[in-house]
Structure 1
Amino acid sequence: MITKKPILMIALAAVVAVGGFALALNNSPANAGKSLMLGLGNKAPVSMPVNYAPEAKATKAGMAMLEELDSTFAGISEQASLGVVSIQSGQGASGSGFVYRTDGWIVTNDHVVGNSDTVQVALPDGRTVPGKVIKSGDAQIDLAVVKIDADGLTALPLADSNLVRVGQFTIAVGSPFGLDDTVTVGHVSALGRGSTVNDPNSMTARGYSGLIQTDASINPGNSGGPLLNIHGEVIGVNSTIVSTTAASAGIGFSIPSNVVRAVADELIETGKFDRGVLGAFIRELKPIEKTEFKAPGGAMIDDVVAGTPAAEAGLVAKDVIVSLNGKEVPTELALRIKLYEASPGQSVQVGYIRDGVRKQTSLKLAEPEQPQQLGMMGQPGQGNMQEFPFDRLFGDQGQAPQMPDGPVRLGLGVREVDATLRSQFKLPAESKGVVVMSIDENSFGAQVGAKQGDLLVELNGEAVTKVGDLRTILEDVNWGDRVTVVLERFEDGKMSRLTQTRRIR
């Protein structure tokens, strides 16, 4: 069998070659529909019926449509590139941005500029100019503006992101991997996406809501660049991706332009950003809930945090907020934008529906919580945030590896437990510890079986109730030491306790 297989393959290849030659000789209208005669060695000729595919013809109307589409995309790309910039921060991170106003205002992601107060901005005409950074300072708002002193700028117009529909064309422009003026094309894959992503630049967990999902290729370096519609208008700012390879997997996310407009205008006008907080967990209404709760739209309250303005105003879970200060909020994102435009301490009227009856209450908005730093994270990356942005460490298999330099890291992104995380991961009200937000592949955290949502409660026999406890304990740990970790996992209303000891490498 071993000797016959290659002979068979050669024979088949020969048939293909002879057949191709015969088709070349016989492919004429006179021979259409006739049999093809193949002679193989001393064997009798074999008759094979041949059906020729009809000649492909492009209609003038079809070609004209394709040419118009081709020209449209090329024109949009050329015009948009005049307003897209590359940004280099002092932390080694790089990304993209776009001209928001011709008087020198650039919009980008907060995680692109990181902790830098100044950045270098590369303009489309080849100039590189310094820029002053104004950050949002809010982990829920991954936006920043940069002021440059330059003339001859081309600003990109912003669309109304409320009008964006699934299936529409999208065009992403930016500098992935430092390749300026890169254009990719795709579609709007979904709307209203939300997630929490660890940012190694700011050492915080960033929260996102109302994102536009696209399959236009977005890679490291695209962050801060525009996502455009077929009119060349900005519908979003490319911000994050879902990927296990740190490159595009066809799932990218952009902050909607209506959010960008509200945040950028405030940063430019006041030099800072603040927002009002209700103290309630809100989400988009499902279609069936609109009928069930007799609500045309709005934001569903999933839970209310005790002691917050929402709780004191009498709002409860399953209330549907439909207006703020008399203005309708048809979606969760619309409510969030209204809150972005409000300030802490401001009194507002909240219209809501409970049990099919429209009601109203008043409350005074609170301040957002300060972003908490994550522990044990890797070094800053190249600008795009991914699912696993941390350093990779060696496992226990094979030869003893060379130990890493620098402080000992668990390979875990963690965050102190709070009301938001209790709700997100269904943790008990009395739960204590730090919540595992992400796990670095091949790290100590991965080797001990940590999962997102686990509570890390002990390390080397010492209780962990805050991120600072981890840092203190790890100060006495060296690479190569054996480390014991205790995790609590809550699934289906049950708690399991996992204790693991491994050498940290």
Structure 2
Amino acid sequence: MTKQPFLVIALAALVAAGALVFGIAQSPANSAKAPWSILGGKVKFSTPVSNGAQPTGVTKNGMALLAELDDTLAGISEEAARSVVSISNGQGSGSGFIYRSDGWIVTNDHVVGNADEVQVLLPDGRTMKGKVTHSNDAQLDLAVVKIPATDLVALPMADSDTVRVGEFSIAVGSPFGLDDTVTIGHVSALGRGSMVNDPNAQVSRGYSGLIQTDASINPGNSGGPLLNIHGEVIGVNSTIVSTTMASAGIGFSIPSNVVRAVADELITNGKFDRGVLGAFIRDLKPFEKKDLKLGGGAMIDDVVGTSAAGKAGIKKGDVVVAFNGTEIRSELGLRIDLYKAAPGDTVTVAYIRDGSRRETQLKLDEPEKQTVAQNFPQGANPFPFGNGGGENNGDGFATPQLPQGPVRLGIGIRELDETSRSQFSLPKDATGLVITSVDPGGFADGIGAKPGDLLIELNGEPISKLSDVRSVLDQVTWGDRVTIVLNRYENGVMTRIMQTRRIR
């Protein structure tokens, strides 16, 4: 069986209790239009063959609608299969799709790994070498591959801003090395976020604005498209949450509008640069939209004082409603505009403060370099889902020798003060204890904790002072399961990391 790179991530927004483990599911401009639509009437439907028996409980009109839906979904799957490819980087395989007919393919960065060249298997059976262009950005798990072909069929791209919860979603890819696999589900939620420790690339990957789907996504699906009922790409399948190596009906896709912004720049410029605002942003909540009488916008949750936003006078509570003249209706919309802007660009930001619209100009900052993940402890499972849902149980089935003495998390911590907030660029309203150091091979190292993370909860108990940690650990013995919750602030994104594992 083909070896599939698989990564563990933590997404607290979906974790109610216990240890849920997340994984990356790997195993000319685009102007294509889908020739089919459930409403467009362009699909030719076959006449059902009847044996004379009459269906019970379903009206003739109902059967006709089901038959139309069935044929439409089959037609979409057949057409999409012409544009979905399998990609091998020599260590594992994943999926991708034809973005432009002149040989440009979109996939996940974690699918191609560190390779500059990959093997691409086309739907017609041809195998070609492809040249990889990486985004080289820990916040964006995207890459493009160029192959020497000009007769390809590109998939049309949808406007992901129009995606609604509840609509059909169709995932296409090569899970477990099985080419041309199609699964169908629904869009379960929008705007999800997560953080991934990628041991292959040695980075912590941050995701925001993800589309959640219950269409089955398994190892090898990564990089493949998530489609709507018009056969248009609404996202790139990237991660899953599961306690096994298989789909649990919770998968995540990078929205198509993000994909277009990144892919177009990689193709045009051969690299990706994005400007940084230096503010923590989020979507407006429904009651905030009502109170502020706004249809949308991006709420400023906090500002790094020395950043572009801080120098321009933007404050916590401001709502960004326009960026360089383009209306901003969501957090993701602002991020996409920032993806299109380069470090050093001077931009105009319009925002609402105290009911009044204001404007300011600012010069965008450079993004931080990729965050190198902590090394996995010796004996850590290369397939985190294959052994205890991501828990490091050591090599084979041997029981490791447990340490003696008081239980330790393997971190240096201190209470928050102005010095630590400034040192780690933490917002003013952040809470918890700040991690100042991580012991190699320790408990915290095993979950990818790093200096600057905030310890906010331990075994369900909130943590705000040093004595809170000792009170919890006094009730724990070596070998017990411990649940730890961390907040991480990077490049304007707050990610909550939650994991349960044995302390050893």
TM-score of the two chains, using structure 1 as the length reference: 0.72
Shift of 1:57: 5.0
The whole-number CA distance in structure 1 between the counterparts of 2:347 and 2:385 is: 35
The whole-number CA distance in structure 2 between the counterparts of 1:387 and 1:364 is: 48
Cα RMSD of the aligned pairs, angstroms, is 3.8
Match of 1:150?
Answer: 149
Which of 454, 458, 465 is 1:494 aligned to? 465
The whole-number CA distance in structure 2 between the counterparts of 1:258 and 1:55 is: 44
Contact 1:94 1:112 in 2 (8 A): yes
Letter in 2 for 1:494: K
Structure 1's 104 and 354: CA in aligned 2 closer, same or farther, altered over 3 A? same
Match of 1:432?
Answer: 436
Q: Which consecutive residues of structure 1, in runs of 5 or more, have no partner in the other structure?
A: 1-53, 404-409, 437-442, 457-464, 468-485
Count of residues paired in the alignment:
403
Letter in 2 for 1:432: T
Q: Does 1:335 align with 2:334?
A: yes
The whole-number CA distance in structure 2 between the counterparts of 1:260 and 1:78 is: 23
Match of 1:203?
Answer: 202
Contact 1:282 1:302 in 2 (8 A): yes
The whole-number CA distance in structure 2 between the counterparts of 1:388 and 1:97 is: 30
Shift of 1:120: 0.6
Contact 1:241 1:385 in 2 (8 A): no
Shift of 1:94: 1.3
Structure 1's 241 and 423: CA in aligned 2 closer, same or farther, altered over 3 A? farther
- Which whole-Å deviations, capped at 9, do the CAs of 1:45-74 have from their partners, x for residues lacking one? xxxxxxxxx982543222211111110010
Contact 1:114 1:201 in 2 (8 A): yes
Q: Percent identity?
A: 61
Q: Which consecutive residues of structure 2, in runs of 5 or more, have no partner in the other structure?
A: 1-53, 403-408, 412-419, 480-502
Shift of 1:426: 3.0
Which of 417, 442, 445 is 2:443 aligned to? 445
The residue correspondences of 1:203-352 to structure 2 (distance < 5 A) are: 203-352=202-351
Letter in 2 for 1:346: D
The whole-number CA distance in structure 1 between the counterparts of 2:59 and 2:216 is: 31
Structure 1's 276 and 243: CA in aligned 2 closer, same or farther, altered over 3 A? same
- Which whole-Å deviations, capped at 9, do the CAs of 1:385-416 have from their partners, x for residues lacking one? 999986732499x965699xxxxxx999xxx9
Shift of 1:423: 8.0
Structure having the higher Rg: 1
Match of 1:84?
Answer: 84
Structure 1's 343 and 296: CA in aligned 2 closer, same or farther, altered over 3 A? same
Aligned residue for 1:237, secondary structure, equals strand
The residue correspondences of 1:68-147 to structure 2 (distance < 5 A) are: 68-90=68-90, 92-147=91-146
Shift of 1:292: 2.6
The whole-number CA distance in structure 1 between the counterparts of 2:161 and 2:452 is: 40
Letter in 1 for 2:138: A
Match of 1:472?
Answer: none
Contact 2:185 2:216 in 1 (8 A): yes
Structure 1's 380 and 411: CA in aligned 2 closer, same or farther, altered over 3 A? farther
Match of 1:4?
Answer: none
Letter in 1 for 2:203: T
The whole-number CA distance in structure 2 between the counterparts of 1:187 and 1:435 is: 43
TM-score of the two chains, using structure 2 as the length reference: 0.72
Contact 2:209 2:255 in 1 (8 A): yes
The whole-number CA distance in structure 2 between the counterparts of 1:227 and 1:372 is: 28
Shift of 1:78: 0.3
The whole-number CA distance in structure 1 between the counterparts of 2:465 and 2:438 is: 18
The whole-number CA distance in structure 1 between the counterparts of 2:156 and 2:106 is: 12
The whole-number CA distance in structure 2 between the counterparts of 1:62 and 1:309 is: 58
Letter in 1 for 2:297: G
Shift of 1:200: 2.0
The whole-number CA distance in structure 1 between the counterparts of 2:334 and 2:144 is: 23
The higher-RCO structure (CA 8 Å, 6+ apart) is: 2
The residue correspondences of 1:61-72 to structure 2 (distance < 5 A) are: 61-72=61-72
Match of 2:48?
Answer: none
The whole-number CA distance in structure 2 between the counterparts of 1:466 and 1:188 is: 34
Structure 1's 113 and 316: CA in aligned 2 closer, same or farther, altered over 3 A? same
Contact 1:376 1:411 in 2 (8 A): no
The residue correspondences of 1:363-442 to structure 2 (distance < 5 A) are: 363-377=362-376, 392-394=392-394, 400=399, 419=424, 426-427=431-432, 432-434=436-438
Shift of 1:177: 0.7
Match of 1:477?
Answer: none
Match of 1:6?
Answer: none
The whole-number CA distance in structure 1 between the counterparts of 2:183 and 2:370 is: 33
- Which whole-Å deviations, capped at 9, do the CAs of 1:258-298 have from their partners, x for residues lacking one? 11111000000000001000000001111111123343311
Contact 1:242 1:387 in 2 (8 A): no
Shift of 1:181: 0.4
Structure 1's 121 and 422: CA in aligned 2 closer, same or farther, altered over 3 A? farther
The whole-number CA distance in structure 2 between the counterparts of 1:321 and 1:435 is: 41
Structure 1's 319 and 212: CA in aligned 2 closer, same or farther, altered over 3 A? same
Contact 1:86 1:121 in 2 (8 A): yes
The whole-number CA distance in structure 2 between the counterparts of 1:203 and 1:156 is: 32
- Which whole-Å deviations, capped at 9, do the CAs of 1:138-157 have from their partners, x for residues lacking one? 01111100000124311100
The whole-number CA distance in structure 2 between the counterparts of 1:83 and 1:149 is: 15
Contact 1:93 1:381 in 2 (8 A): no
- Which whole-Å deviations, capped at 9, do the CAs of 1:199-242 have from their partners, x for residues lacking one? 22211111111111100000111000000000100000001111
